[in-house]
Chain A
Amino acid sequence: GAVVSQHPSRVICKSGTSVKIECRSLDFQATTMFWYRQFPKKSLMLMATSNEGSKATYEQGVEKDKFLINHASLTLSTLTVTSAHPEDSSFYICSARDPTSGSGYEQYFGPGTRLTVT
């Protein structure tokens, strides 16, 4: 099946610094990738939709200047949390859609990145 990797799996950073998270589709080309945030014991909240070669589409309430998304190739999207604050601490999960698979809507999820801002 389709595999999505995410790196790093855990990161601790200090307030005010920036952190980059990478999301890669390993065995398929993903024209669309998604970034989610998940709080403890809560469901996934979509932050933005990332399309290869174009600007990301952010959900209402998500600061695009704080959460920078780049989708430079069909297999790689990155999320950079800029000027991180403790309230940005969360579990960030990316997913990639394989348009050739099944329904064409299915998203394959990466293993997630646990970000802790001290």
Chain B
Amino acid sequence: GQNIDQPTEMTATEGAIVQINCTYQTSGFNGLFWYQQHAGEAPTFLSYNVLDGLEEKGRFSSFLSRSKGYSYLLLKELQMKDSASYLCAAVTGTASKLTFGTGTRLQVTL
């Protein structure tokens, strides 16, 4: 089966850096997405990694290690508006479905 794990909750201070980890065990892996979701809203795309390494996009960066089944999302210069849930999702199977992790609720404090 598919298994994707993330920490349930994290807290960080405004202006700081936070790293949200995601480990996965899946079949037919075709890459990993990170989405941001504010309460009651739809998830919005942050990043996609298919090759090993770090992808940087402004304040957000995402890393993937396929051999270790591991990814992380790095958020720099945290702002209050970054308080949200962060979902990692693996592209799996022949139908290329997204299998979502449990989601990490990030609270940014002053």
Smallest beta-carbon distance A51→chain B, Å: 9
Please count how many residues in chain B sit with their CB below 8 Å of the partner chain's CB atoms.
25
Q: Scoring B residues 21 to 54 as 1 if CB is less than 8 Å from chain A, else 0, what string do you get?
A: 0000000001101010000111111001010000
B91 adjacent to chain A (CB < 8 Å):
yes
With an 8 Å Cβ cutoff, the count of chain A residues facing the other chain is: 25
Are A103 and B31 touching (Cβ within 8 A)?
A: yes
Report Cα–Cα, A12/B31, bound state, in Å. 38
Contact B102 A42 (CB under 8 A): yes
Q: Which residue of the partner chain, among B30, B42, B99, contacts A109 with CB atoms under 8 Å? A: B42
Complex Cα spacing A114 to B40, Å: 9
Q: Identify which of A41, A97, A112, A114 contacts B42 (C-beta below 8 A).
A: A112
Task: Count A/B pairs, Cβ under 8 Å.
Answer: 56
Flag whether A18 is at the interface (Cβ < 8 A): no
Inter-chain contact A44/B87, CB cutoff 8 Å: yes
A107 to B34, CA, bound (A): 11
A sample of 13 inter-chain contacts (CB < 8 A) reads A42-B103, A46-B98, A102-B48, A105-B30, A105-B31, A105-B33, A105-B98, A106-B33, A106-B45, A107-B98, A108-B45, A109-B42, A110-B42
